A and B are shown apart, each in its own frame.
Chain A
Amino acid sequence: MGVPDRPVTRHAGGVSAETLVLVLVVATALGFDFTNGFHDTGNAMATSIATGALKPRIAVALSAVMNLVGAFLSVAVALTVTNAVVKTFSAATTDPSTGTVTPAHLTMSGDALLMIVLGGLIGGIVWNLLTWLLGLPSSSSHALFGGLIGAAITANGWNGVNWVGDGTKLDGVVGKVLLPAVASPIVAALVAGLATWIIFKIIGGIAHRTSEEGFRWGQVGTASLVSLAHGTNDAQKTMGVITLALIATGHWSADATTIPFWVKLSCALAIALGTYLGGWRIIRTLGKGLVEIESPQGMAAEASSAAVILASSHLGFALSTTHVATGSILGTGLGKPGAEVRWGVAGRMVIGWLLTLPAAAVVGGVMWGIGDLLGNTAGAIVEFVILIGLAGYIFSRSRANAVGAHNVNDDWSGMPAASAPAAELTTGGVA
């Protein structure tokens, strides 16, 4: 059954109006990619920064380079990324004879799709920024998916969302978002915990300094692998979204393996710049807040993350780097006898994860509603202005208790935020 096309009649008409919306969608997508970068730096580098294996600035620079390289490595494009949660494509994704994707394969008109994508991206960015302000690691892909779901529900009703797929493969909100979100942190925690437990058995008899120095090398190697995998996976998603927008508006027609070079370049740069910016608040929570870690635990965590991410992508199991990394770090705390796990911090993260989809969905839905109310062109401009305003507000709030390379490793209990207005939110009463 197909989703009925919803004719959008109130758009300003003409090519230039649609082009303006397209430009805003591309700009917002790159903005999302940027937040994706700094939101996820900690997934790879928090452990290396916390143990001193790498200086903070060196760590984010290394991660940025690995993300940049990773983004360029991805030749196959995740064109169908939105299809995981929104019924974007009708039965066939590509033309069997030519292998190209054209607007004819979409379930809705190009401008309707643009407005859903725009709402979804804004929902994703707002949630990413809010969780960053609170120092909460949360999945950027879930934020994007949540935004898209909200926009799709308001646009096309409950049936516009791909809830469970068609039963031929793991698909839909359940198969690609919910089940992996539950399973992947548990798997990662088990693996990292097991590795940590065995490691400390093995190195039990040697000097602490010797093991710390040795394992720093292992940490850097495995953390780089996680960054590289992140670059290929996550930059690809934004490339897919932008390319989809170009196809929907008839600006690009291609098979699933070619995208405009400028799309690849801009996405790679956006995610790398975001990564280099650091996302220090989240790095701090992951590296210092959840568990106090030593180098062997850091290596166990990153090796576990890399293995789970690569094994999953090999088996077509969609997951979030953030959930895996958090699970791994938690697991290293469980695996080391006597290590303290701050369950309050872990609990706040889980609450954040549970809220990600609905919260981003509300923002995405409201954004789509604004577009519906004002017409596509005016709506898109207003949505973009609202996004800029919210981002500016969140950024100014963050200055009150700034976290950066200088204080990212401070004692968790002596949080620099202790006296700031947002302290209660930032530490959740843990500090």
Chain B
Amino acid sequence: MSNGSAFVKDLHFAGTAIWQVLVASVVLGAGLPVIFALGVRSLAWGTGNETGGGEGGAARPGNPMGKVLAVVLFAVVLYVLALGIYYIVVAGHGKELDFNGIWPSQVAKS
């Protein structure tokens, strides 16, 4: 019965797709906010807004390194967001992005 096998194939295709979506989503979807969180934490370090560490919330002088680190981390987040927008634009034109290295290029949809 061809319907039965098509159903099994659907399950198989879905299993493959779900697995790939999960991996990509963990990297991008969890990675992005985690980098952002590191940025927020670095900024707090840089501006002396950390309250933890058992120091009773006493204000500490900021560390300039924290600010530099925060800028770098936020820049990474902005880059990924820009990639997302770029991807949507390209996909809207029926193409895909080829992540050949860090700089993506447009390719025809396979």
**Chain A contact residues, CB within 8 Å of chain B:** 70, 73-76, 163-172, 174-175, 179-180, 183-184, 187-188, 190-192, 194-195, 198-199, 202-207, 210-211, 214-215, 218, 221-222, 225, 228-229, 232, 257, 296, 299-300, 303-308, 310-317
Contact = CB atoms under 8 A, between A and B. Distances in A.
B38 interface: yes
A306 B32 CA distance: 11
A300 B51 contact: no
Contacts of A75: 92-94
A10 to B, nearest CB: 33
A210 B49 contact: yes
A360 to B, nearest CB: 22
Name B's interface SS: helix
B88 interface: yes
A54 to B, nearest CB: 17
Given A166-B6, A306-B84, A307-B24, A187 B30 contact: no
Interface residues of B, number: 50
B103 interface: no
Contact of A221 (B24, B25, B38, B81): B81
Closest A-B pairs by Cβ, 6 of them:
A205-B52, A307-B29, A76-B94, A167-B6, A73-B92, A311-B24
B25 A187 contact: yes
B71 to A, nearest CB: 13
B58 interface: no
Given A195-B34, A204-B52, A313-B91, 14 more contacts: A165-B10, A167-B10, A169-B13, A170-B10, A172-B6, A187-B25, A190-B22, A206-B50, A210-B44, A214-B40, A225-B85, A306-B84, A308-B25, A317-B17
Contact of A314 (B27, B81, B87): B87
A76 B18 contact: no
B17 A170 contact: yes
Contacts of A300: 30, 33
Contacts of B96: 314
B103 to A, nearest CB: 18
A221 B85 CA distance: 11
Contacts of B72: none
Nearest to B87: A310
B10 A187 contact: no
A77 B57 CA distance: 57
A20 B32 CA distance: 51
Interface string B22-48: 101111111011101111110110000
A202 B25 contact: no
Q: Is the interface of A mostly helix, strand, loop or mixed?
A: helix
A385 B77 CA distance: 50
A257 B94 contact: yes
Residue of A194, A206, A229, A312 with highest tally of chain B CB at under 10 A: A206
20 contacts: A164-B6, A167-B2, A180-B14, A190-B26, A191-B26, A194-B26, A195-B34, A199-B33, A199-B34, A202-B41, A203-B44, A205-B44, A206-B51, A210-B43, A215-B36, A222-B81, A232-B91, A308-B21, A310-B84, A317-B17
Given A75-B93, A180-B14, A206-B49, A194 B40 contact: no
B35 to A, nearest CB: 10
A76 B49 CA distance: 49
A248 B24 CA distance: 39
A179 B93 contact: no
Contact of B21 (A164, A187, A202, A228): A187
A74 B9 CA distance: 30
A362 B52 CA distance: 58
Contacts of B2: 167
B89 A192 contact: no
B29 A195 contact: yes
Contacts of A190: 22, 26
B100 interface: no
B20 interface: yes
B1 to A, nearest CB: 11
Contacts of A228: 85, 88
A311 B13 contact: no
A163 B36 contact: no
Nearest to A198: B34
Given A199-B34, A202-B37, A174 B29 contact: no
